[in-house]
Amino acid sequence: MCARTDLRLPCPERDNSRPRRWPIRAATAALTVLAVAILTACSSPAPQPGATTAAAAALSTSPTTTASTTTPPAPATPSLPGLPGGTVLAVKIDNTAGSRPRLGVDQAAVVYVEPVEGGLTRLMAVFSSAAGGLPPEVGPIRSARESDVALLANWGHVALAYSGGSAFTRSVVDRANLASIPYDAGTQGYRRAGDRRAPYNVIGNAQTLLARAGTGPTNGDPGFRFGQAGPGGSPAASVATSWPASKVVFTWDAASGRYLLTTDGRPDVAAGGARIGAATVVVQEVPAHLSENRDVNGAQTPVVDLVGSGTATVLRDGQVWKGQWSRPDLGSPTSYTTGGPGGPPIAMASGPVWVLLVPAGQAVTVG
């Protein structure tokens, strides 16, 4: 019988050396039967109607041959690793030259870059006891903003550490579902660093601040989904955007598996000497408006609108995905999807996530 793995090979020839003595009709019938047998031996059985692709593949391969399959990406897992269930500390951290080198930012699970007065930006670094752990110290810690309440509303009841803020902002924060632990309400968990000048010298002890807040494991869901990269990505070695007085650039580094951060033209290095980087960079284009609040110079505070939907650009593994973000209300997770709201989630890579909150219309360059 012929091997079924290569239908191009002829069947072995039969020995026809003996003289034939069959009558013509008998010989014809015999040859007909023989032809049918040869064709049956040299052909694969046709799949039955309704047979699955896997079943058809199994029928057309020999017992020692394994059919090749394509493994689809694993489903994205909800939220951050360890959430819900981890204890969360959010810290407002300066993002200007006077703050460098910063402490603890390289260990944050998520970092939001948000616009503030004067065209500058400030960081909201979020640490989780179940995702990345807590650094010994964080800082330099600066004042809170209204946007912080919206950023943290879907994280659940979490701790917020900050240093100062206007009476207007403090009233907004105090009404939120947050364990507020400002520096000016008691210095437990804070210190003033002697080698830094004010206001860039307020440093926090993460463990002590969490203990002071008295919060437990959160049941919130900020909306991030983690897993294997899905289809639709294209090569992307960098992403850059500029607010009026602040510029960030993330550049892919294959050796570390991170997009390394450059801020205002300088490589961003943590206090321990390591480059600060992100496994995933999310550019979230958001509407913005001016608050009733004003800073000490009389400038109105910009507030980003984080409910609704808009364009999202997600970079990971040296690739970029274009999609949308969507959040129906403050208590709901923010989804990042392709194909519009309700589409497949864009999976984040394991590791730190940086979210750049970019006012709609601000230029973003992906290279």
What is residue 299's predicted lDDT score, i.e. its pLDDT?
Answer: 84
At residue 54, the pLDDT reads 34
Which of 20-24, 108-112, 125-129, 220-224 has the weakest average pLDDT? 20-24
Q: Smallest Cα–Cα separation from 362: which of 247, 227, 209, 205? A: 247
Q: Over 80: is that where the pLDDT of 253 sits?
A: yes
pLDDT at 77: 60
Segment 30-48 shows an average pLDDT of 38
pLDDT in tens, 290-317: 998 887 778 889 999 999 999 999 999 9
Mean pLDDT over the full length of the chain: 82
pLDDT in tens, 321-350: 999 999 999 999 999 999 877 899 999 999
Look at residue 219 in the predicted model and tell me its pLDDT. Answer: 86
Between CA 127 and CA 106 the distance in angstroms is 10
8 Å CB contact between 237 and 258? no
The reported pLDDT for the residue numbered 225 is 94
Structure tokens at 189: 């968990």
Answer yes or no: is pLDDT of 240 > 50.
yes
In the chain, pLDDT over 90 holds for what percent of residues?
67
pLDDT tens-place string over residues 43-97: 434 434 333 333 333 323 333 333 333 444 545 565 676 677 789 999 999 999 9
Print the SS3 string covering 253-268.
ECCCCEEEEEECCEEC
Residue 143 above 90 pLDDT?
yes
Which pLDDT score, from 0 to 100, does residue 171 have?
Answer: 94
For 264-292, the pLDDT digits (tens) are 999 999 998 999 999 999 999 999 999 98
Going by pLDDT thresholds of 50, 70 and 90, the confidence category of residue 130 is confident
This prediction has a pTM of: 0.79
Domains defined along the chain, listed by start? 82-366 (3.50.90.10)
Alpha-helix residue ranges (DSSP H) falling in the chain: 24-41, 53-59, 146-152, 167-174, 206-213
pLDDT tens for 166-200 read 899 999 999 999 999 999 878 899 999 999 999 99
The answer to whether the beta carbons of residues 320 and 76 sit under 8 Å apart is no
Confidence of residue 35 (pLDDT cuts 50, 70, 90): very low
pLDDT at residue 6, as a whole number: 39
Residue 125 scores a pLDDT above 90? yes
